[in-house]
């Protein structure tokens, strides 16, 4: 049944870059989290959908195809590390892309396409991030981390992807449809 599946729209981090970032993260000492994100699942979420009907999903796909045709590819830098939750015991450890104008405009366009399809969007402020790990599980408190490296990671955002979440599989996020942005 389609309604029991959960989806989101995001920017997939290319395999080579994801594994380089993972290597850089693994080289750090003192990071003790319960759950680590598989590098194949690295992404920046634009809009979380959750469960959605087939009719809404089909309508939303049409809107995403249109917006992709009207949206130019753009560069994105990922540099900073951050956390959500209590500073000493974060529940989410992440890498943060620069909140560039093209990224924020893309997010708004995707949000509008989802709303036009009649599907709700979270009302919380949007904070773009790429989850690395969850649930701090050490006795000692978490210590804030320096950037992953001196130079930011750079990627070309040339597409967005509709992902299905499969929690019992690795990787967990499976591309359903990719929307190529025009050059």
Tokens 């939303």 locate to 60
Q: Give the three-state DSSP class for 5.
A: coil
For CA atoms 88, 92, 96, 100, the dihedral sign is negative
Q: Which of 6, 12, 129, 174 is catalytic?
A: 129
Strand (E) or helix (H) holding 26: helix 15-26
How far apart, in whole angstroms, are the C-alpha atoms of residue 81 and residue 148?
7
Please identify which of the residues 6, 43, 119, 127 carries the catalytic annotation.
43
Q: Is 43 a catalytic residue?
A: yes
Tokens of 124: 């919380």
Cα–Cα dist 142/153, whole Å? 24
The span from the CA of 173 to the CA of 12, in Å, is: 10
174 included as an active-site residue: no
b vs e for 91-105, b when ≥16 Cβ sit within 10 Å of the residue's Cβ? Answer: ebbbbbbeeeeebee
**How far is CA 182 from its chain centroid?**
21
Catalytic residues: 43, 129
């Amino acid at each position: 049944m389609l309604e029991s599946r959960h989806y989101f729209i995001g920017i997939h981090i290319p395999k080579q870059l994801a594994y380089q970032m993972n290597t850089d993260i693994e080289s750090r000492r003192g990071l003790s989290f319960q759950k680590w994100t598989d590098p194949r699942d690295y992404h920046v979420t634009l809009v979380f959908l959750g469960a959605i009907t087939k009719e809404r999903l089909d309508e939303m796909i049409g809107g995403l195809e249109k917006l992709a045709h009207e949206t130019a590819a753009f560069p994105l830098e990922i540099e900073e590390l951050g956390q959500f939750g209590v500073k000493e015991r974060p529940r989410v450890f992440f890498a943060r892309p620069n909140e560039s104008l093209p990224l924020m405009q893309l997010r708004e366009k995707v949000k509008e396409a989802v709303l036009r399809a009649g599907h709700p969007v979270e009302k919380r402020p949007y904070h773009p991030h790429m989850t690395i790990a969850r649930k701090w599980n050490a006795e000692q408190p978490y210590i804030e981390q320096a950037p992953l490296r001196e130079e930011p990671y750079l990627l070309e955002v040339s597409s967005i992807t509709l992902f299905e979440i499969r929690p019992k599989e690795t990787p967990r996020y499976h591309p359903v449809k990719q929307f190529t942005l025009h050059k």
